[in-house]
Structure 1
């Protein structure tokens, strides 16, 4: 497993909102170590036994915390992220529609503070059997040795579900986020899986837009020895139209599904033409 383990002690920013309270409850049911919540003005309250504080600083004075998951609305996400980046090691930004300039400032600040940021616009991360910091439905995952990285939450669920139904469990599944500007990229997660003794093979789920998958292909060629299987969504997408994610737009000849598939297959990554083919490819790889 990577990023999320028994030593992860998390707080929820925006814990009293509709999304924050619902998903806190779901994360607790999955035995995730949620030790505090933060909502300005709601300090002193609690949610399912989780104490709520007015600020991260106040929470850290009272609890041992090293990570945060953010459910605050987009206009306030930057302030929330800055506060957590300043004090914590791992920050997961679930929030959608974070303005690009805000995201750029968040990532710059994270770099200065050496903090790992996942997202924004991410379903989060799950290490089956350990916990989840995210919004994914837990019943489709099971403990195992395949690491999954994806820009798409929905495709993560589909692929994890098919792996599980075929008896193949997952070590960790990471949604890196579908926005043009995100914190942690494919290469970083690939390296973590490469170094992880619990991961024997990796599934990389990509989509049209940007060059993240091409960059990942180069990284795989130079650094990754474990088998990688990939599926790229968007083969039939028309150029110039955004498909789903803000980052999923083809400009000119770059960012097409075919260019990504070519880059990955050229470095030995096995390509699944449909999500359903991933299971067979993984079975052949491990």
Structure 2
């Protein structure tokens, strides 16, 4: 088992004919992802690489193929509408890769999604990978832009606000002969879909996840909220890393949400919260895998 997606998940790609969307669609197909449709308004009836049918709308694609998940590569001007179109079509999951969606638009999306069952990962995220059993973990489900080959099927769940640190943690775990159940990069924007805590709760209930890695960063209070919940409710070992220990106050660290405007938003405060809740924290990125694997 895994969380959110598995090899049988039927995936559609919103923005499949754009350069970025087309590139990652091909990589996901090579990985073994079950991509059943693409959506680009005005190009319905065509085929992507002579194999994937393209539709004018998400509703048409869902009706024809039974897709349950979407990966959104739509430009920022239309990305918020693309998320809501996915929800309105009855999808269970959308992964929005698009960066730079205005905060006020995401606030509207967040409010509207409360009326739907669909889960949103992102925006501005690397996406989700549930590794498969084949070479370079092929035969799994890759929705987004994360490199598939660094994964290995296993039992460590990874959730991260940072894309590149997700890859670092995953590759370390793989190189040590362990593997991952599912890896979820939730993105670093101030307003996003699933939170660190949302994903930890899913891992906590997943029988195939034996341990959890959390990668946080400066900004917001998600790490503190997650640490408190883990201390009270989590049944599995958890290890953490927090990026931004040297970040100057008030300066953004890459992501729109990675900025410490007050003491509780600093890396030091988040690390203290994890340790107060008896959650081991890796001292550096290079120690992430060792920190979780010695708990298993």
Please state which band the TM-score falls in when normalised by the shorter chain. over 0.9
CA contact (8 A) 2:40 2:55 kept: yes
Gaps of 5+ in 2: 133-139
CA contact (8 A) 1:149 1:189 kept: yes
User: What displacement does 1:108 show?
Assistant: 1.4
Give the structure 1 partner of residue 73 of structure 2. 71
For residue 222 of structure 2, the aligned residue among 192, 203, 212 is 212
Indicate the SS of the match to 1:32: coil
User: What displacement does 1:5 show?
Assistant: 1.3
CA contact (8 A) 1:43 1:52 kept: yes
User: What displacement does 1:82 show?
Assistant: 0.9
Give the structure 1 partner of residue 136 of structure 2. none
* Mapped partners of 2:207, 2:144: distance in 1: 23
Q: How do 1:188-203 and structure 2 match up within 5 A?
A: 188-203=198-213
For residue 257 of structure 1, the aligned residue among 256, 261, 267 is 267
Indicate the SS of the match to 1:221: helix
CA contact (8 A) 1:191 1:223 kept: no
Instruction: Give me the CA root mean square deviation.
Output: 0.9
* Mapped partners of 1:279, 1:118: distance in 2: 24
For residue 92 of structure 1, the aligned residue among 86, 91, 95 is 95
Give the structure-1-normalised TM-score.
0.98
User: What displacement does 1:279 show?
Assistant: 2.1
* Mapped partners of 1:123, 1:154: distance in 2: 9
* Mapped partners of 1:279, 1:248: distance in 2: 23
- Residue 56 of structure 2 corresponds to residue 54 of structure 1: yes
Q: How many residues align?
A: 286
* Mapped partners of 1:210, 1:224: distance in 2: 22
Post-superposition Cα deviations, 1:184-218, rounded to whole Å, max 9, x if no partner, equal: 00111111111111110000001011111011111
Indicate the SS of the match to 2:236: coil
Indicate the SS of the match to 2:41: coil
Give the structure 2 partner of residue 246 of structure 1. 256
User: What displacement does 1:110 show?
Assistant: 1.4
Gaps of 5+ in 1: none
- Residue 161 of structure 2 corresponds to residue 151 of structure 1: yes
Indicate the SS of the match to 2:20: helix
Post-superposition Cα deviations, 1:119-169, rounded to whole Å, max 9, x if no partner, equal: 000100000102110101111111110000000110001111111111111
Which range moved further: 58-67 or 29-38? 58-67
CA contact (8 A) 1:85 1:109 kept: no
* Mapped partners of 1:163, 1:59: distance in 2: 37
Give the structure 1 partner of residue 35 of structure 2. 34
Indicate the SS of the match to 1:28: helix
Give the structure 2 partner of residue 114 of structure 1. 117
User: What displacement does 1:231 show?
Assistant: 0.5
User: What displacement does 1:72 show?
Assistant: 0.4
Give the structure 1 partner of residue 46 of structure 2. 45
Give the structure 2 partner of residue 125 of structure 1. 128
Give the structure 1 partner of residue 18 of structure 2. 17
Post-superposition Cα deviations, 1:192-249, rounded to whole Å, max 9, x if no partner, equal: 1111111100000010111110111111122212000001000000001111000000
